[in-house]
């Protein structure tokens, strides 16, 4: 009989660990309700696992003692909603994340778009702090066609969009970005594209001349343009399948026929309602092509 | 005579590990029957920028194919799932997975704490957590959550680990039901499987 370790290790239990607030699904509903009713943002179809963890994180960051306190704060302090949005949405991103994806965009997707178009439209849906926009602009610059691109970058979170617009990245992230860029096999070194100032890498602003930034909620927003390429990578993973279907319908409506949709490398359209309106162009990088209206 | 007190209430087995756990994991996966009754969810620390190869390396040594699930993929009975590189792997409502690119935890993405904690949130006491050899404390809090919610906690016998920080960290924050060498972990899982046959 294997002895349970219970007795032996009891003495090693930590002293009075900080009490953690347990967030339950009913609590999430209370929060989504107040955010929806008071501010018009709808988080009710966000994926439970990550949404619950984000709420847990907010409770810890701001030292709330209960979910009830978060609800009260949201009800009484309208300035808190921006902070709430900033923390509840995930803004961890990298330049040239998945370098093989960016090589595929450079070597196949953009050349294919250029076969039929002189100028083209790109939408970064859920652009966060803008690293993918920077990657795209560098990529197009190196192809010599940056001036042919109209790029729209949108995000639900206004402060993060303002950050994206600034075109700066913390220098401490540039190590990783550089490693990605090297694997992308760009033409220069990444230092070619920025100047360092006060701990920030200031990306060459001329790269972003053709980019417009817009505050846009993928859940509630209406289709506003047609695109040749939409990047929506690692955005819909925070939604449940119901919401993924709705957003994908919107993305589908925002694409020209035979144009491209790129999602994250571990996202799949297989289970989605619009699946039959797309074909997969590159399964490894999860790049799809719209084939039916 | 049964060595362990196991019933057939369990819905999944989650295994975490990092440095030095590869051999233990492959030994376990190769010893399990092809028709093992529960899903096995693996969260192993791995290089962030190497997307390919790990799934294949594990599959070769396993009696069952190992797959890296896509976001919202269903958790199937008998499936063996591996957290993909540079994503956290969470268990979602509706018996499916969710992926996330949230901040690294314990300097790790995938982080074992995320997989263990979310799995225990969904499966409650019907979960078995196993923590193997590893070089940091990732997984300790996840094991605590499993225990707090009534699940079963198992760590690899520290003296057998290449690096024992991971199991000993878990032992220092929560009650561990079984401290076992890999051979006994395998016996445990085989006996568990018998409960469903």
Same structural domain, A70 and A138 = no
Instruction: Give the closest of A100, A179, A266 to B70, CB-based.
Output: A266
Q: Is the pLDDT of residue A146 over 60?
A: yes
Share of chain A above pLDDT 90, in %: 91
Does B99 sit within 8 Å of A271, measured CB to CB?
A: no
Asked if residues B157 and B180 have their Cβ atoms less than 8 Å apart, the reply is yes
Taking the CA of residue A270 and the nearest CA in chain B, the distance in Å comes to: 10
Q: Is the pLDDT of residue A17 over 70?
A: no
Instruction: Give the closest of B4, B70, B171 to A2, CB-based.
Output: B4
In angstroms, the Cα distances linking A189 to A171, A208, A225 are 15, 19, 35
pTM of the model: 0.93
Query: How many domains would you assign to chain A?
Result: 2
A269 within some domain: yes
Strand A200-203: give its sheet, edge to edge: A168-170, A200-203, A194-197
Find the residue in B nearest to A179 (Cα). Answer: B49
Residue A129 backbone dihedrals phi, psi, to 5 degrees: -80, 10
Does A183 sit within 8 Å of B86, measured CB to CB?
A: no
Domain that holds residue A67: 6-88
Reference A6, options B61, B120, B147; nearest CA is B147
Taking the CA of residue B116 and the nearest CA in chain A, the distance in Å comes to: 12
A221 within some domain: yes
Catalytic residues of B: 18, 45, 138
Does B173 sit within 8 Å of A14, measured CB to CB?
A: yes
pLDDT at position B52 is 86
Measure CA of the first residue to CA of the last residue in chain B; give whole Å.
18
DSSP A207-260: GGTTEEEEE--TTTPPP---EEEEEETTSGGGB-HHHHHHHHHHHHHTEEEEEE
Does A266 sit within 8 Å of B84, measured CB to CB?
A: yes
- Name every chain A residue with its beta carbon within 8 A of the beta carbon of B100: 49-50, 53, 90, 237-238
- In chain A, the DSSP E strands lie at 120-125, 149-155, 168-170, 194-197, 200-203, 211-215, 227-232, 255-263, 278-282, 287-290
What is the arithmetic mean of pLDDT over B6-11?
95
CA distance A103 to A110: 10
Same structural domain, A133 and A273 = yes
Q: Is the pLDDT of residue A62 over 50?
A: yes
Domain B12-194 has CATH 3.40.50.180: yes
CA distance A235 to A217: 12
Does A266 sit within 8 Å of B69, measured CB to CB?
A: yes
Q: Residues in chain A whose beta carbon is closer than 8 A to a beta carbon of chain B? A: 1-2, 4-6, 9-10, 12-14, 17, 47-50, 52-54, 90, 92-93, 97-100, 179-180, 183, 234, 236-238, 240-241, 244, 264-268, 270-271
Same structural domain, A72 and A125 = no
Reference A218, options A198, A199, A237; nearest CA is A237
Same structural domain, A271 and A149 = yes
Instruction: Give the closest of B93, B114, B180 to A2, CB-based.
Output: B180
Same structural domain, A187 and A275 = yes
Does A49 sit within 8 Å of B177, measured CB to CB?
A: no
Q: How many residues does chain A have?
A: 293
Find the residue in A nearest to B91 (Cα). Answer: A49
Taking the CA of residue B149 and the nearest CA in chain A, the distance in Å comes to: 11
Asked if residues B80 and B64 have their Cβ atoms less than 8 Å apart, the reply is yes
Does B68 sit within 8 Å of A50, measured CB to CB?
A: no
Q: Is the pLDDT of residue A189 over 70?
A: yes
pLDDT at position A83 is 93
- Which residues, in sequence order, are CB contacts of A292 under 8 Å at separation 6+? A257, A276, A277
Neighbouring-strand partners of residue B97: B91
Q: Which of A90, A237, A248 should be substituted to probe chain B, the one whose Cβ sees the most B Cβ atoms within 10 Å?
A: A237
Predicted confidence (pLDDT) per residue in B137-186, tens digit: 999 999 999 999 999 999 999 999 999 999 999 999 999 999 999 999 99
- Does B51 contact A at CB distance below 8 Å? yes
CA distance B114 to B98: 11
Taking the CA of residue A13 and the nearest CA in chain B, the distance in Å comes to: 6
Predicted confidence (pLDDT) per residue in B22-58, tens digit: 999 999 999 999 999 999 999 999 988 888 889 999 9
Instruction: Give the closest of A48, A240, A268 to B70, CB-based.
Output: A268
Q: Is the pLDDT of residue A10 over 70?
A: no
Same structural domain, A258 and A193 = yes
The 3-state secondary structure of chain B, one letter per residue: CCCCCCCCCCCEEEEEECCCCHHHHHHHHHHCCCCCCCCEEEEECCCCCCCCCHHHHHHHHCCCCEECCCCCCECCCCCEEECCCCCEEEEECCCEEEEECCCCECCECCCHHHHHHHHHHHHCCCEEEEECCCCCCCCHHHHHHHHHCCCEEEEECHHHCCCCHHHHHHHHHCCCCEEECHHHHHHHHHHHHHCCC
Question: Quick one: pLDDT band at residue A18, thresholds 50, 70, 90?
Answer: low
Domain definitions of chain B by residue range: 12-194
pLDDT at position A2 is 43
Predicted confidence (pLDDT) per residue in B101-123, tens digit: 999 999 999 999 999 999 999 99
- Does B183 contact A at CB distance below 8 Å? no
Same structural domain, A24 and A71 = yes
Residue B121: count of CB within 10 angstroms of its CB: 24
Does A12 sit within 8 Å of B172, measured CB to CB?
A: yes
pLDDT at position A5 is 42
- Does B76 contact A at CB distance below 8 Å? no
pLDDT at position A19 is 63
Question: Quick one: pLDDT band at residue A8, thresholds 50, 70, 90?
Answer: very low
Does B101 sit within 8 Å of A92, measured CB to CB?
A: yes
A1 within some domain: no
pLDDT at position B1 is 54
A218 within some domain: yes
Least confident of A87-91, A151-155, A180-184: A87-91
CA distance A252 to A153: 17
Residue B54 backbone dihedrals phi, psi, to 5 degrees: -70, -45
Predicted confidence (pLDDT) per residue in B55-76, tens digit: 999 999 999 999 999 999 999 9
- Output the domain CATH number for residue A231: 3.40.50.150
A–B CB contacts, 8 A cutoff, strictly below: 105
């Amino acid at each position: 009989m294997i002895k349970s370790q219970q007795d032996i290790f009891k003495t090693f239990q930590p002293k009075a660990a900080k009490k953690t607030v347990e967030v339950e699904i009913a609590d999430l509903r209370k929060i989504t309700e107040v955010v929806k009713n008071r501010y018009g943002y709808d988080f009710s179809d966000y994926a439970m696992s990550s949404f619950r963890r984000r709420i847990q994180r907010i409770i810890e960051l701001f030292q709330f003692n209960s979910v009830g306190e978060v609800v009260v704060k949201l009800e009484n302090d309208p300035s808190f909603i921006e902070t709430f949005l900033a923390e509840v949405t995930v803004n961890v991103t990298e330049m040239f994340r998945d370098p093989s994806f960016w090589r595929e965009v450079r070597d196949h997707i953009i050349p294919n778009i250029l076969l039929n178009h002189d100028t083209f439209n790109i939408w970064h849906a859920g652009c966060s702090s803008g690293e993918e926009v920077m990657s795209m602009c560098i990529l197009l610059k190196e192809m010599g066609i940056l001036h042919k691109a109209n790029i729209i970058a949108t995000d639900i979170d206004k402060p993060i969009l303002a950050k994206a617009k600034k075109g700066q990245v913390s220098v401490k992230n540039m190590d990783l970005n550089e490693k990605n860029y090297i694997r992308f096999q760009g033409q220069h070194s990444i230092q070619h594209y920025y100047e360092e100032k006060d701990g920030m890498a200031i990306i060459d602003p001329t790269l972003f001349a053709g980019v417009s930034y817009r505050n846009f909620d993928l859940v509630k927003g209406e289709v506003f343009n047609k695109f040749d390429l939409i990047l929506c990578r690692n955005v819909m993973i925070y939604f449940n399948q119901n919401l993924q279907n709705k957003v994908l319908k919107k993305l589908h409506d925002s694409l020209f026929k035979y144009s491209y949709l790129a999602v994250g490398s571990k996202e799949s359209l297989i289970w989605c309602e619009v699946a039959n309106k797309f074909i997969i162009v590159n399964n490894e990088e999860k790049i799809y092509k719209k084939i039916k209206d | 005579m049964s060595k362990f007190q196991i019933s057939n209430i369990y819905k999944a087995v989650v295994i975490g590990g990092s440095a030095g756990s590869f051999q233990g994991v492959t030994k376990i996966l190769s010893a399990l029957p092809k028709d093992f009754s529960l899903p096995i969810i693996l969260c192993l620390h791995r290089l962030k920028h190497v997307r390919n190869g790990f799934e294949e390396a594990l599959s070769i040594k396993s009696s069952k194919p190992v797959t890296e699930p896509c976001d919202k993929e269903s958790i199937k009975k008998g499936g063996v799932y591996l957290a993909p590189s540079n994503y956290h792997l969470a268990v979602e409502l509706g018996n499916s997975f969710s992926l996330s690119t949230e901040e690294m935890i314990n300097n790790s993405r995938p982080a074992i704490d995320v997989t263990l904690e979310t799995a225990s949130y969904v499966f409650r006491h019907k979960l078995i957590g196993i923590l193997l050899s590893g070089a940091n404390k990732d997984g300790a809090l996840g094991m605590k959550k499993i225990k707090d919610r009534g699940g079963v906690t198992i760590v690899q016998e520290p003296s057998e680990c290449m690096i024992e920080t991971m199991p000993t960290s878990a032992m220092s924050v929560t009650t561990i039901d079984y401290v076992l060498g890999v051979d006994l972990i395998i016996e445990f899982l085989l006996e568990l499987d018998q409960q469903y046959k």
